[in-house]
C-alpha cells in the first residue's frame, strides 16, 4: 500500500494532505484529467458503468466520487438512487454544480465523508464503485472493508485504478510518460505544482493486478476479476460480496 503523500515535507497525515490537495486542484481537475489520459478515461469509465448496469442495481454508491462524472453516467441507466461520497468539499462542489445543471437532484445525492468511515448502514447498496480513488486512501484495507460492509449480499464492487503495463514497449513508454511528462503538465497547468508529481509517483507505487486481487480477497471479497484497460495503463477490478 502506498505511503507516498502529496506534500512530502509536511508532517500532516496522508488523509489530510490528500484532502487539501484535491480541494486545491478541484477547479481544473476535469481539464487536467482529460489532458493526462488523452480522454481515454471516458471509455474506461463507461466500461465501469456497463459492468455495474449489467447487475441491474437499485442503488449505487460511488466512493471518492470527485467531480461526479461516474454519477452522471449512472444517471443514464435505470438505477433509482445514486450516492456520491468524497472527502473533499472542493471536488463535491464541482460535482454538485454538474448535478444541478442537469436537474438530477432527485436521483443523485452527495455525502461529504471519509471512505474509511462511511456514513451508511451495513448492507445498504447493490453496487459500489471507486474510480481512481483507492490509491489515495490512507488505510486501503480499512476502505475496502467499509465497501464490503455497506454492500448487500451478492452486491458488486467495481474499482478502476491506475496500473503499470508489463509488456515492451508500453512499460517503458508508461514509465517515461508518468515520471517525465505528467509532472510537467502539472507544473504548466495546475496551481498545485506538487499534486501531479504525487499522482504520478503514487500511480507507479500502488499495487495492481494480482497484488490488488490478493488484498481484495484478504478483506473478504470473492470472485475477483481483473480487466486491464489499454495495455494495462489502468485496470478494472470486479469483486463480489459473497
Ligand atoms: C483522482 S480523484 C478521482 C475522482 C473521481 N472518482 C474520478 O474518477 O475522476 C480521487 C478522489 O478521491 C477522493 N478521496 C481521497 N481519499 C478519500 C477518502 N479517504 N475518502 C473519500 N474520498 C477520498 C479525493 O478527494 C478525490 O476526489
* Residue pLDDT, tens place only, 174-213: 899 888 888 888 888 787 878 888 888 999 999 999 999 9
Distance (Å) from CA 169 to ligand 1 centroid: 30
CB of 88 within 6 A of ligand 1: the answer is yes
Domain holding 68, by residue range, is: 14-163+207-240
Does residue 168 belong to any structural domain of this protein?
A: no
- State the pTM of this model: 0.96
As given in the structure block, the three cell numbers for residue 80 are 433509482
User: pLDDT tens, 78-111?
Assistant: 999 999 999 999 999 999 999 999 999 999 999 9
C-alpha to C-alpha distance for 52 and 56, rounded to whole angstroms? 7
Does residue 31 belong to any structural domain of this protein?
A: yes
Q: How would you label 91-129 residue by residue, b for 16+ Cβ within 10 Å and e otherwise?
A: bbebbbebbeeeebeeebebeebbbbebebeeebbbbbb
Cα dihedral sign, 104-105-111-112: positive
Ligand 1 atom at shortest distance from the alpha carbon of 88: 25
CATH number, residue 54: 3.40.50.150
Does residue 198 belong to any structural domain of this protein?
A: no
Strands 125-131 and 151-162: parallel
Across the range 14-36, mean pLDDT stands at 93
Does residue 174 belong to any structural domain of this protein?
A: no
C-alpha to C-alpha distance for 142 and 139, rounded to whole angstroms? 5
- Using most ligand atoms within 8 A of CB, pick from 70, 133, 158, 162 the residue to mutate for ligand 1: 133
Does residue 195 belong to any structural domain of this protein?
A: no
- pLDDT exceeds cutoff 60 at 1: no
Closest alpha carbon to 4 in 195, 236, 231: 195
Omega before residue 169 within 30° of 0, cis:
yes
- Using most ligand atoms within 8 A of CB, pick from 136, 198, 200 the residue to mutate for ligand 1: 136
User: pLDDT tens, 27-49?
Assistant: 999 999 888 889 999 999 999 99
pLDDT at position 21 is 95
Does residue 215 belong to any structural domain of this protein?
A: yes
Number of domains in the chain: 1
Does residue 60 belong to any structural domain of this protein?
A: yes
Does residue 185 belong to any structural domain of this protein?
A: no
Amino acid at each position: 500500500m502506498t505511503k507516498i503523500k502529496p506534500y512530502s515535507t509536511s508532517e500532516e497525515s496522508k488523509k489530510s494532505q490528500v484532502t487539501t490537495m484535491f480541494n486545491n486542484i478541484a477547479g481544473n481537475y476535469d481539464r487536467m484529467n482529460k489532458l493526462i489520459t488523452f480522454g481515454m478515461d471516458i471509455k474506461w469509465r463507461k466500461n465501469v458503468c456497463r459492468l455495474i448496469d449489467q447487475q441491474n442495481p437499485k442503488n449505487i454508491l460511488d466512493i471518492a466520487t470527485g467531480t461526479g462524472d461516474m454519477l452522471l453516467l449512472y444517471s443514464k441507466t435505470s438505477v433509482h438512487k445514486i450516492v456520491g461520497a468524497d472527502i473533499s468539499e472542493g471536488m463535491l462542489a464541482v460535482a454538485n454544480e454538474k448535478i444541478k445543471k442537469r436537474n438530477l437532484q432527485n436521483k443523485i445525492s452527495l455525502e461529504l465523508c471519509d471512505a474509511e468511515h462511511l456514513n451508511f448502514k451495513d448492507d445498504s447498496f447493490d453496487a459500489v464503485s471507486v474510480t481512481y480513488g483507492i490509491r489515495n486512501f490512507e488505510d486501503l484495507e480499512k476502505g475496502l472493508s467499509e465497501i464490503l460492509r455497506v454492500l448487500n449480499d451478492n452486491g458488486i464492487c467495481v474499482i478502476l485504478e491506475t496500473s503499470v503495463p508489463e509488456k515492451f514497449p508500453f512499460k517503458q513508454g508508461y514509465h517515461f510518460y508518468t515520471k517525465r511528462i505528467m509532472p510537467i503538465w502539472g507544473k504548466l497547468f495546475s496551481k498545485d505544482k506538487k499534486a501531479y508529481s504525487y499522482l504520478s509517483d503514487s500511480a507507479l507505487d500502488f499495487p495492481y493486478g494480482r497484488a490488488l486481487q490478493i488484498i481484495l480477497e484478504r478483506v473478504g471479497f470473492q470472485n475477483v476479476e481483473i480487466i486491464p484497460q489499454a495495455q494495462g495503463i489502468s485496470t478494472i477490478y470486479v469483486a463480489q460480496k459473497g
